[in-house]
Structure 1
């Protein structure tokens, strides 16, 4: 850790100590984070941390070569609350493990650690209406919007890693019906991903729209964005989502993610990328099922951007003992002329033990992965622990 990071975390610790001494109300419990409310009620703050420790072992079935690794997969600091008025909410989330700090060491991100995940203000300016401003996840596929803390498997599917929209900087307008059966989201952002400070010279923008339909009403505990039926829905619940996205003059190989695409002279190559995503979540009495379909295309198909489609379906059952068994099938059908990734197929079986919901759990899964048209096959085993205050 260099001096600047030490200074940052020392300052953070001093702020928290001072806040705990200065507040009128301090409360905490496992999984609920530390909470502070100002004596004059002008602000509130919740602070928490979480980390995941991962073992990843991969056997190449063609060569019998086994490779493994153990790492801190994710480590996060989370701050949120309201400022001046409860209708003005803020969220700040920082990544402090090096596995989390991707794409930071390049000119576009200022050649520095890329630690800021979310930095967003949310204003409830009218009944059932919110506007968000800052950096946060775009309203893309459901699996991506689900927090990595609340996943049903050790990690998200290949469909998400290939075609998700990820985080960006911009503004989002959100509305829901009074009975919470219909939701609409419109986002306008810069289209280059998180923490990019060197603006795309073509000045492209990204426009994202999402519609959600919950015919049986809302889920307990926002369960339509939580893996597994942790709340054990007493009646069937279903959520259907549709997302359309246009990223104009995108200069990264996967839109908001991937490398910056350049020609031999070092100039940016840009494409208009169009994405369509359909997803659903179903839960009832410990049973859960989730599915997503994604499709991405480029305007002139130069083959330098990750285009194609993918499908994933997963389902599981959470036993009364809080053990869960789940299965997942993933299929990637990449465009033949692009070079970013290949066709891929994966079958996954997962076993999880929830000690305190998603705040304290042990998860493992085993996957059989193939590349259609190739002879390469892998057997992948992962084991992960999650701790979240």
Structure 2
């Protein structure tokens, strides 16, 4: 039997609540949800050093997602594949990395479930939010520098209610080498995150979508903090980035929050990363380093019926003194206008602004303008 449903993206859990997409189901023995989304982009970038425009015209994302359950609603699965070149990490591997998520879950109760496989770590909120539920065409530069991304291992999720308040606890023990790692090291990565919703749940899990498209009737707030310790990792960002010449241990602290009311939305994130001796060097004098430092980002938006939104973003990364001789500080200033035709599933977005690069050799400013269309079901 074939039916067409809609489906809400919440966090990294496999979805069994069906509202959108294509679904195949046989009683309580089998459920398969299929979703496809496309992001097509055209952008112009002009820096004040060369004054020569650069163009970015491509399929930014093409994703196929499958989730559901087998044998029982307690045994769930979640698979996500990526097919665009920008999604396959070809900059660090000659082999396309099409597998983004491949994880099995067992649901013990409405309050507790666990997963085994490859999935997003419980890191900062903007990274966990689907790229299809963003109010800008890309996540912030602070996220790009400090996020935990995906990893392979064991994931544990627990939530409880205290009156109207809701508390979510998310933990993971993973390899620390990122998605589709060919080898794993002697160390592991340990990650934990706690979320507090003092005024109850958001409408349609709005604490994991950007913008107040649901137009919350009462003030809603989610505050969270998390910590990740990656032991003996080989990459500059732990689960992401290029290869270090020597393995390192490092820690990442994350705090974030999101608030929504009557079409207004505000979200902010803070990062702190630290390692001892962050700069590594090979025998030829080449260096690779861990970005020790802090990052922060904030976004403010207003949603207007019948589907328009305006948004502002400020973001920055600040390297510590021990890497200032080799690292770049970034300051990002963006404005955005979005037209939502069917929520985040079908939308058009226009972003404009500039990014300042404070490099050891001097300052550079990039002005940018990007148009993107998203279509999904």
TM-score by length of 2: 0.90
Q: Matched residues in 2 for 1:112 and 1:300: separation?
A: 31
2:278 and 2:291 in contact (8 A); partners too: no
2:221 counterpart of 1:235: no
Question: 1:204 Cα deviation (Å)?
Answer: 1.0
Q: Matched residues in 1 for 2:6 and 2:30: separation?
A: 22
Deviations 1:286-320 (A, max 9, x none): 10000000010113333621221111110100001
Query: Residues 196 and 103 of structure 1: is their aligned pair in 2 closer, same or farther, counting only changes over 3 Å?
Result: farther
Residue 100 (structure 1) aligned to one of 65, 87, 95: 87
2:269 counterpart of 1:301: no
The equivalent residue for 1:58 is 45
Q: Matched residues in 2 for 1:221 and 1:197: separation?
A: 38
Query: Residues 352 and 341 of structure 1: is their aligned pair in 2 closer, same or farther, counting only changes over 3 Å?
Result: farther
**For the aligned residues, what is the CA RMSD?**
1.6
Deviations 1:230-260 (A, max 9, x none): 1111100000010101000111011100111
The equivalent residue for 1:333 is 318
Query: Residues 341 and 127 of structure 1: is their aligned pair in 2 closer, same or farther, counting only changes over 3 Å?
Result: same
Query: Residues 104 and 342 of structure 1: is their aligned pair in 2 closer, same or farther, counting only changes over 3 Å?
Result: closer
2:308 counterpart of 1:320: no
Question: 1:186 Cα deviation (Å)?
Answer: 1.4
Q: Matched residues in 1 for 2:300 and 2:92: separation?
A: 38
The equivalent residue for 1:81 is 68
2:314 and 2:334 in contact (8 A); partners too: yes
The equivalent residue for 1:44 is 31
Q: Matched residues in 2 for 1:252 and 1:153: separation?
A: 28
The equivalent residue for 1:12 is none
Q: Equivalences for 1:65-144 in 2 at 5 Å?
A: 65-102=52-89, 106=93, 111-144=94-127
Q: Matched residues in 1 for 2:279 and 2:60: separation?
A: 34
Query: Residues 313 and 97 of structure 1: is their aligned pair in 2 closer, same or farther, counting only changes over 3 Å?
Result: same
Q: Matched residues in 1 for 2:137 and 2:4: separation?
A: 27
Q: Equivalences for 1:261-276 in 2 at 5 Å?
A: 261-262=244-245, 269-276=246-253
Q: Is the helix fraction higher in 1 or 2? A: 1
Q: Matched residues in 2 for 1:375 and 1:129: separation?
A: 49
Query: Residues 380 and 276 of structure 1: is their aligned pair in 2 closer, same or farther, counting only changes over 3 Å?
Result: same
The equivalent residue for 1:16 is none
Q: Matched residues in 2 for 1:72 and 1:340: separation?
A: 33
Question: 1:126 Cα deviation (Å)?
Answer: 2.7
Q: Equivalences for 1:197-236 in 2 at 5 Å?
A: 197-200=182-185, 203-236=186-219
Deviations 1:300-351 (A, max 9, x none): 3336212211111101000012110000001110124337741011110000
Partner secondary structure for residue 108 of structure 2: strand
Partner secondary structure for residue 99 of structure 1: helix
Question: 1:29 Cα deviation (Å)?
Answer: 4.6
2:5 and 2:23 in contact (8 A); partners too: no
| 56-65 vs 207-216, which moves further | 56-65
Q: Matched residues in 2 for 1:226 and 1:354: separation?
A: 13
Residues paired across the two proteins, number = 352
2:28 and 2:73 in contact (8 A); partners too: no
| 363-372 vs 189-198, which moves further | 363-372
Residue 180 (structure 2) aligned to one of 195, 206, 214: 195
The equivalent residue for 1:310 is 295
Question: 1:26 Cα deviation (Å)?
Answer: 1.4
Q: Matched residues in 2 for 1:33 and 1:290: separation?
A: 28
Q: Matched residues in 2 for 1:282 and 1:158: separation?
A: 21
Residue 384 (structure 1) aligned to one of 368, 372, 375: 372
TM-score by length of 1: 0.87
Give 4+ residue runs of structure 1 displaced > 4 Å after superposition.
Answer: none
Query: Residues 29 and 86 of structure 1: is their aligned pair in 2 closer, same or farther, counting only changes over 3 Å?
Result: closer
Q: Matched residues in 2 for 1:105 and 1:377: separation?
A: 27
2:111 and 2:159 in contact (8 A); partners too: yes
Q: Matched residues in 2 for 1:79 and 1:116: separation?
A: 12
| 337-346 vs 72-81, which moves further | 337-346
Residue 334 (structure 2) aligned to one of 313, 327, 348: 348
